Amino acid sequence: MRANGDKGISRRKLLGGAALAAPAVAGIALARGGDSALAEPAAAGAHPGHAGHGEFPHATFAAGRHVDHERNGFHPTKLLRDFDYGRTSRLASGRVLREWEIVAQDREIEVAPGVRYEAWTYNGRVPGPTLRAREGELLRIRFVNGSEHPHTMHFHGIHSALMDGMPGIGENRGGGQIEPGEAFTYEFDATPFGLHLYHCHVAPLAAHIARGLYGAFVIDPKQGRPEADELVMVMNGFDTNFDRANEVYAVNSVGFHFVDEPIAVPREELVRIYLVNALEYDPLNSFHLHGNFFDYFPTGTSLQPSEFTDTVIQGQGQRGILELRFPYDGDYMFHAHVSEFAELGWSGFFRVGDPGEVSAATAASMYCELPWGKGSPA
Sites of contact with Cu ion (CB under 5 A)? 151, 200, 202, 208
Q: How far apart are CA 237 and CA 303, in angstroms?
A: 30
Query: Residue 147 Cβ, how far from Cu ion at the closest point, in Å?
Result: 7
CA distances from 136 to 49, 117, 191, 272 (A): 55, 38, 6, 22
Q: How far apart are CA 262 and CA 335, in angstroms?
A: 12
Query: Residue 210 Cβ, how far from Cu ion at the closest point, in Å?
Result: 10
Sign of the Cα pseudo-torsion (206, 210, 213, 214, in order): positive
- Indicate the residue among 281 and 350 with the shorter CB distance to Cu ion: 281
Q: How far apart are CA 154 and CA 177, in angstroms?
A: 10
Is 46 strand, coil or helix? coil
Query: Residue 151 Cβ, how far from Cu ion at the closest point, in Å?
Result: 3
Query: Residue 208 Cβ, how far from Cu ion at the closest point, in Å?
Result: 3
- Indicate the residue among 200 and 312 with the shorter CB distance to Cu ion: 200
Closest CA to 74 of 115, 114, 122: 122
Assess contact for 164 and 141: CB atoms under 8 A.
no
Query: Residue 330 Cβ, how far from Cu ion at the closest point, in Å?
Result: 42
Element (H, E) at 15: none
Q: CB neighbours of 342 closer than 8 A, spacing ≥ 6?
A: 249, 335, 336, 377
- Indicate the residue among 125 and 208 with the shorter CB distance to Cu ion: 208
Closest CA to 14 of 3, 5, 24: 24
Query: Residue 182 Cβ, how far from Cu ion at the closest point, in Å?
Result: 13
- Indicate the residue among 153 and 216 with the shorter CB distance to Cu ion: 153
- Indicate the residue among 237 and 320 with the shorter CB distance to Cu ion: 237
- Indicate the residue among 133 and 163 with the shorter CB distance to Cu ion: 163
Query: Residue 201 Cβ, how far from Cu ion at the closest point, in Å?
Result: 7
- Indicate the residue among 202 and 231 with the shorter CB distance to Cu ion: 202
Phi, psi of 306 (to 5 degrees): -100, -15
